[in-house]
């Protein structure tokens, strides 16, 4: 087993709870973990999420609904394709109707 820090593990846990066809933001996860303000750590944690197929990192975007982390996926627009595959409309790396699709673990969970 890898030496996962509790923080990383919790990030992955929340990420797996993201419903199909919905998205959330790094800050929302960070806040849910009680690490509000440390949203960057969530993004960094996702960097290691590539080793976890169960973690839909493509459903995690920044607060603007922008696919800022698409460059970390394979190819150039894999992240967008995955999102569109779930019925999410993405134009120019920007999720349409982001406010409606946004899933907040603090409120929803």
Name the segment binding DNA (CB under 7 A); options: 35-43, 85-93, 101-109: 35-43
Interaction residues for DNA, span 80-109 (CB under 7 A): none
Give, as ranges, the residues between 42 and 71 that touch DNA (CB under 7 A). 42-44, 46-47, 49-50, 57-58, 60, 62-64, 68-69, 71
Contact 98, 56 (CB under 8 A): no
**For strand 24-25 and strand 60-61, is the pairing parallel, antiparallel, or unpaired?**
parallel
d(CA 74, CA 100): 27
Complex with DNA: residue 37 or 53, whichever CB lies closer: 37
Site size with DNA, rule: CB under 7 A: 33
Question: Whole-angstrom Cα distance, residue 27 to residue 60?
Answer: 10
User: Is residue 23 within 8 Å of 59, Cβ to Cβ?
Assistant: yes
Contact set with DNA (CB under 7 A):
5, 7-8, 25-28, 30, 35, 37-44, 46-47, 49-50, 57-58, 60, 62-64, 68-69, 71-73, 79
């Amino acid at each position: 087993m890898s030496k996962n820090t509790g923080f990383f593990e919790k990030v992955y846990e929340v990420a797996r709870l993201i419903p199909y066809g919905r998205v959330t933001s790094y800050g929302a996860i960070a806040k849910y973990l009680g690490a509000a303000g440390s949203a960057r750590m969530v993004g960094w944690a996702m960097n290691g999420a590539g080793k976890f197929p169960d973690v839909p990192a493509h459903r995690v975007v920044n607060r603007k609904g922008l696919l800022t982390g698409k460059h970390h996926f394979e190819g150039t627009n894999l992240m967008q394709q995955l999102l569109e595959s779930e019925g999410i409309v993405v134009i120019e790396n920007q999720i349409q109707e982001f406010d409606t699709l946004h899933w907040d673990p603090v409120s929803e969970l």
